[in-house]
Structure 1
Amino acid sequence: MKKMFKATAAAAMIGLLAFAAAGCGGDKKAEHKEVVKFGVTNFADSLETTDNYFGWVVMRYGLGECLVKFDKKMNAVPWLADKWTISDDKLTWTFHINDKACFSNGTKLTGELAAASIQRTFEKAARAKSMFEYESIKGEGQNVIIKTKKPVPTLPGMLGDPLFIIVDTQTIKDRDTAKQGAICTGPYAVKSYSKAKAEMVRNEKYWDGAVPFKEVDILTIDDPNTRAMALQKGEIDFAINIAAGDLQLFKD
């Protein structure tokens, strides 16, 4: 029987659904396939992380990562940043970038590049400005130093929002980020993208362990009954959000 990988939007937002890990919860046969296919619902017609809430999809598809993610108890824990500290006056945060972290093009992620990415988010997304105000954001070596205008005790959690996915700003001007996505640090990179179908390929330079599938095809199948039938027929390997009434299709 094909097991179903089910995810909520909240789980996707906090980065627990990078598709590199999705196969581990599904059919054992799928783990050995070079190409796996997902049936999903997709609300994003763009891969630009600062546009609307589309960063959720960029993270959900295993493309992008943030400095911070959340554990199952919703505690902010390290991701691209392996540790952080706050000054005695509660205004200055220092996030240390994991020395292994790099973009899919092989460029090492430094504090300067991470700072530039966060600054880009503030320049392009009004929602960022509503989350916190800063005096300065700068990079020094592997550190990102953020000084806020007033104490923001939840700052690490805010930086775990997919709005703050870290992108390589050095390559932005040469890319159509809506269709190609930005260069990010996730386990997959974009081969092609449309709202109807996305093709992701393994990031051979991924910094945080092995990536299980060579390619992941993500098909938008909005109707849950159609998704269930596609899974039953073997047209897809995984389906996200199967209606309770269709579970009987998978008995035995």
Structure 2
Amino acid sequence: MPQDDKISPRKPRRAWPVAMAVVAVVAVVAGAVTWRGQADDGAPSPDHPRNRGTELVIAVGDVAGGEFDPLKGWGSRPAQIRLIHSSLLTVDKNIDFVGDLASDYSVSDDALTWSFTLRDNARWSNGEPVTAQDVIFTYDTLKKDGTRFDLTFLDRMEARDDSRVDFHLKEPRSTFVSQLSDIPILPAKHYGTDYSANPIGSGPYVVADYQVGQQLILEANPHWYGQRPQFTKLTFLVLGEDAALAAARAGTVDIAYAPPAFAGQRIDGMTLQSFETVDSRALTLPTLPAGGKGKIRTNDVSVGNDVTADPAIRKALNIGLDRDQIAQIVLQGHGRPAYSLVDGLPWFNDQVVFEDGRTEDAKRVLADAGWSDSDGDGTVEKDGRKAEFTLLYPSDDQLRSDLALAVAEQARALGITITTKGSTWDGIYLDGKANAVTWGGGRHHPHQIYEMYSSKVIDSGYNNMPQYTNTTVDGYLDQALSATTQDKANEFWKQAQWDGQTGFAGENGDTPIIWLLRLDHLYFVRDGLNLGDQPIQGHGHEWALFNTLVQWHWTS
């Protein structure tokens, strides 16, 4: 880009107009210019890819959601904060919660007091020490804000000295570890309204340059307390999936995310690498009749759908859709069927697994509920209403687009007509409580179960999109949250899924969300680049790789 287009990280600017963005992508892919916009005869090309060195160029999607500030949502994606910030705890390769900024921590027997000792060599990227006061400031700020992280259960905090801090809870919260591992600690002395423009963190990298919708450049933090990464500079290109693949073919990137539809491609000098995940895909189905009103992220929205509100429609889809076939079509062998958000995890109830792809059984469910194809057009109807609804998906997501089309095709055989519609996420959030949505999730902790199914979080953020209510399920979810140990909590998480009579999952459950796929994350990686001992990855391919970045290295 031209020299005068470079901006300071203190002044992130708006994305270029579309035409200029296309030109920029073409320039990058062609390898015709350097980052400063000057011609370079040695620029990368398919025959001469980027040289190995201490810098990497990465294209894994939009990595800047939340703009480095937890009050704007930074920390809402797994592993998102790991390069720039630290949290009190983190997740290791065995999916255990271990210290990050905390060198040691303990929990009282009644689970009401959590005590942390900060590592004595923790420093901010400006060289100042990280203190207990910074921790208190962060959590107090987020609790007062109340929109991005639910900390209502937190009573008070106290610093015993500069390196020791105690959290006192109003009641036990078994999922507190989710906040402790996701919330980035902020510098109390340097946080303000312009923090996104000049973020100070305690992670292995610092923001050197950020241009909205274009690129993010990180450079090694000289004050980082952990193992020094081999790579001193990371350039993230904000490219769509097609453009990222083109950049990989042009030899201009070292890592590019690949949706399963691209997995069969061959790129000289790069190898497709696949990583196991807890990342799942589903359909959210409105459970209330049309005509209601609600909120999503403070916006007033329409709620309800007269077709999906019928439990028979949801059950017919749940048992009639063939997950194995959908997985083959959409994931092309890079994943597996899913029956819940948490398949195989310690809080998973394996009783919710059932035989699916049962077209005739699904038709009987519909017929027993009064749905029939009286006019012979292939779509069943009831009380003059056709079994038709719209399924929304993000237009820039190849996997969800393929999923929507595969589901619509199979649903037709059941007598249900689904119209697929691509949109932006902003549009989906506004329309998603009155229509079906290709949804996703998957964490190393069970808190998302509460967020997706508890009636108590309806109209907060984009939680519980189907507006689902089951008082028995609510009881189990509340008991899971307030359990004093994870083992006790797991039993209630399982009962919420299915207790033998009711629940939100399984063949006979309420099925406000139909889980279909557990996918692998796929990346084209420059030959010789070792990405370390990757743990099972969480939802979202943008940041999932970077838990192990300090281990990354070139091999011989």
Q: What's the TM-score once normalised by structure 1's chain length?
A: 0.76
* 2:203 aligned partner: 186
* Matching residue's letter, 1:166: I
Task: For residue 167 of structure 1, report the CA deviation from its aligned partner.
Answer: 1.4
Q: Percent identity?
A: 20
What is the letter of the counterpart of residue 33 of structure 1? G
Alignment of 1:17-28 (within 5 A): none
1:218-237 equivalences under 5 Å are 218-222=236-240, 224-237=241-254
Structure 2 counterparts to residues 1-252 of structure 1, below 5 A: 33-42=53-62, 44=65, 46-53=67-74, 56=77, 59=80, 62-128=83-149, 130-141=150-161, 142-161=163-182, 164-173=183-192, 176-181=194-199, 183-193=200-210, 194-222=212-240, 224-250=241-267
The 3 A distance-change label for structure 1 pair 50 and 31 is farther
The residue identity in structure 1 corresponding to 2:154 is: Y
Whole-angstrom CA distance in 1 between matches of 2:120 and 2:134: 13
1:50-86 CA-to-partner distances (Å, cap 9, x unmatched) read 2135654983571112111112343211111122112
SS of 1:62's partner is coil
SS at match of 1:126: coil
Residue ranges of structure 1 left out of the alignment (5+ in a row): 1-28
Higher relative contact order (CA 8 A, sep 6+): 1
Tell me how far apart the structure 2 counterparts of residues 58 and 199 of structure 1 sit (CA, whole Å).
17
Q: After TM superposition, which residue ranges in structure 1, 4 or more long, deviate above 6 angstroms?
A: none
1:246 CA displacement? 4.5
2:209 partner SS: strand
C-alpha distance after superposition, 1:152-193 (max 9, x if no partner): 2332333112xx1011121113x7222333x11111101121
Change (3 A) 1:216 1:134: same
Q: Distance in 1 between matches of 2:247 and 2:263?
A: 12
Q: 1:190 to 1:184 in 2, by over 3 A?
A: same
Q: What is the deviation of 1:131?
A: 4.7
What SS class does the counterpart of residue 130 from structure 2 fall into? coil
Checking the alignment, whether the CA contact within 8 Å between 2:67 and 2:74 is kept in structure 1 is no
Greater radius of gyration (CA): 2
Cα distance between partner residues in 2 of 1:56 and 1:242: 18
The number of aligned residues is: 218
Partner amino acid, structure 2, of 1:44? G
2:95 alignment partner AA: M
Amino acid at match of 1:95: F
CA distance in 2, matches of 1:60, 1:171: 18
Please give the per-residue CA displacement for 1:107-155, whole angstroms capped at 9, x wherever unaligned.
1112222221221222234232x35512111222211210000112332
SS in 2 for 1:123: helix
Match of 1:15 in 2: none
CA distance in 2, matches of 1:47, 1:84: 26
